[in-house]
Amino acid sequence: MTIKKDYDDLERLEQAYISCWGITDDIKKISLYSENIEKDILSLRDVYNIKFRELSNCVDEVDKNLYNLREAWEEMRPDRFVENEDKSDKDLFGNVALGEDGC
């Protein structure tokens, strides 16, 4: 059984992160070229509220997918089915059972 690798969520996360990264540049441009700084900063705040909400949703989606992959791996883990115990006889308490001669 193979798990389909879907990197679309990671690409969306990267794009959302990059779009939020420009906030400092946008603030600098407003401070240099704006005629009404207060109005423009409030407009910028509204835009970045939406961008950061999108970023938060992308982070949640990647986190959910990672959790699901980790859970699937735990269920299918190969070493889960391997017995690490040796095949020697054991008594009721898990101690190695000795033969009749005590060896």
Q: pLDDT of 3-51, one tens digit each?
A: 556 678 888 889 888 888 888 899 999 999 999 999 999 999 999 999 9
Any domain includes 79? no
Residue 31 belongs to some domain of the structure: yes
Dig out the tokens for 18 from the structure: 């990059």
**Domain count for the chain:** 1
Distance CA 41, CA 65 (A): 36
Phi, psi angles (nearest 5°) of residue 32:
-85, -40
83 by DSSP, 3-state: which? coil
pLDDT band at 1 (very low <50, low <70, confident <90, very high): very low
Dihedral sign of CA atoms 30, 36, 41, 44 in order: negative
Quick one: pLDDT at residue 22?
87
> Residue 58 CB: number of other CB atoms within 10 A?
19
50 found inside a domain: yes
Task: Flag whether 99 is in a domain.
Answer: no
